[in-house]
Amino acid sequence: MNKFWIILSHTYMTRLKTKSFYISTAIILLFIIGMANFQTIVDIFSSDDKDTIAVIDKSDVLFDSLQESVSNSNEDVEIVSVDESEGVIKESVREGIYKALVVLELNEDQVPEATYYSNTITETAVQMVLEQQLQQLKIAMATQAAGIDQATITEIYEPITFQRIALNESAKTDEELNQARGIVYIMLFLLYIAVLMYGTIIATDVATEKSSRVMEILVSSASPVTHMFAKITGIALLGLTQISLFVIVGYTLIQSKQEELTGGIFEYFGIQDTSPTVYIYGIIFFLLGYLLYATLAAMLGSLVSRVEDVQQLITPMTLLVVAAFLIAMFGLSMPESTLVTVTSFIPFFAPMLMFLRIGMLEVPFWEVAISISLLIGTIILLALIGSRVYKGGVLMYGRSSSLKDMKKAIELTKKE
């Protein structure tokens, strides 16, 4: 057991002192600080000036109605009527006096038409405002010409009442589903990032030790299982250190900006009213998912002798994580689909998909128990196979770029 702690502390301290750890931690902390102060940053860089749009109304009947509707719908856009020629106003647009020029006219069917002139047409926000208001103006003119009053039109376009009521008493309400969807998305994203990031670190760390021939000494002094899980636990503690920093900084920012943040983004993501059970299951599946993929990453990392080959060999693992994440994104809108239900029992997908079902549905406990049992069983099986591959793989040198090298690694173990 003493050797386990020695390898664990060595792995942890070595990675803790690397520049990549400090840089990645600093970047994520800056991102958290930026998100907490997002509105402040937007206010700093945004201008209080309105976008002024010059309008030449060739119909002499459209401008007043358009001006009223635009001013009521968007405070950041101001339209002004101009009497100069199109050429003069276009030059003013080029010089930045006006944001754009809009030429209004009626076609032969007395339907409004507009031509929009701007230095670039990549900024679509203002264009959409004008287009939408002109569309509303067209509807109003057409209905008036047909003898239909505005009250009738308003009644026609008024949204219908559509209530969703679940007959199953245990089913979640629409509000509870929206809250669950937000927190589930956050947990899925965290698991996705953690597995990819720390799984790659484990595989790279093993390959780095092999390239320096340190691995032969380590394996001869400690069993492969001890070495493998000491390294996995060491990287897990490294991740815990990072996550703790993020939580502390995030909590401090939340406390300092509680009035601004509470009820807004927190209510949208369901962080305020989510059941503690969801968080408990989130932690369980997060840890099991990490152990599953970390064990696989350590096993794959032991097959390569050069750090450059790591990414190529762990590509199948990466594809599994990406596939699970994509199915989970699909499942956010259809959590009861057969695809999500079936894949929630597949160990490599279960950490994301069973947690998604727990967060959004009333899943029977026996289904959760089966999924967790399969996960634990797969981790134990991977540990047994991985220890043999690890023991033989760390002694394999030369270029390794295929999963077929697992067979060679196991054969090396048998020869000992």
Residue 180 zone, left/alpha/beta (φ > 0; ψ -120 to 50; rest): alpha
With beta carbons less than 8 A apart as the criterion, state whether 294 and 230 touch. Answer: no
- Residue 169, judged by CB atoms within 10 A of its CB (0-12, 13-18, 19+), counts as exposed
Chain-centre distance for alpha carbon 194: 12
Res. 96: pLDDT tops 80? yes
Contacts of 353 (CB under 8 A, 6+ apart): 324, 327, 328, 331, 340, 343, 344, 346
Residue predicted with more confidence, 175 or 77: 77
Q: Within its chain, how far is the Cα of 41 from the centroid? A: 22
| pLDDT recorded at residue 191 | 82
**φ/ψ bin of 58: left (φ > 0), alpha (ψ from -120 to 50), beta (otherwise):** alpha
pLDDT at residue 48, as a whole number: 56
pLDDT for position 178: 64
| β-bridge partners, 112 | 106
Rg of the Cα trace of the chain?
A: 30
Query: What pLDDT is recorded for position 370?
Result: 94
Share of the chain above pLDDT 90, in %: 6
Residue 372's pLDDT is what? 93
Highest mean pLDDT, choosing among 102-111, 135-144, 333-342 = 333-342
pTM: 0.65
In this model, does residue 162 exceed pLDDT 60?
yes
Give residue 406's pLDDT band: very low, low, confident or very high (50, 70, 90): low
**pLDDT of 225-239, one tens digit each?**
677 778 788 888 888
Query: Where do you find CATH 3.40.190.10 in the chain?
Result: 50-157
pLDDT by residue (tens digit) across 374-401?
A: 999 998 888 877 777 666 655 555 555 5
Sign for the CA dihedral angle at 204, 208, 213, 218 comes to negative
pLDDT of residue 114: 86
Residue type for 234, please? G
**pLDDT given at position 166:** 65
Fold (CATH) for 50-157: D-Maltodextrin-Binding Protein; domain 2 (3.40.190)
Report the pLDDT averaged over residues 278-295.
Answer: 85
CB-based burial label for 173 (10 Å; 0-12, 13-18, 19+): exposed
DSSP 160-196: PP-----SSTTSPPHHHHHHHHHHHHHHHHHHHHHHH
Which tens digits make up the pLDDT trace of 249-274? 877 776 676 555 544 445 544 455 56
Tell me what percent of the residues of the chain surpass a pLDDT of 70: 74
pLDDT at 290 over 70: yes
For 188-239, what is each residue's pLDDT tens digit? 888 888 888 888 888 777 777 666 655 555 555 666 667 777 878 888 888 8
SS3 57: strand
Nearest in space to 301 (alpha carbons), one of 385, 194, 400:
400
The answer, yes or no, to whether residue 10 has pLDDT greater than 70, is yes
**Nearest 5°: CA angle at 80, between 77 and 86?**
115
Question: Which of the residue ranges 63-72, 190-199, 273-282, 345-354 would you say has the lowest mean pLDDT?
Answer: 273-282
d(CA 2, CA 6): 6
Average pLDDT value over all residues in the chain: 77
What's residue 366's pLDDT?
A: 92
What average pLDDT does the segment 345-359 reach?
89
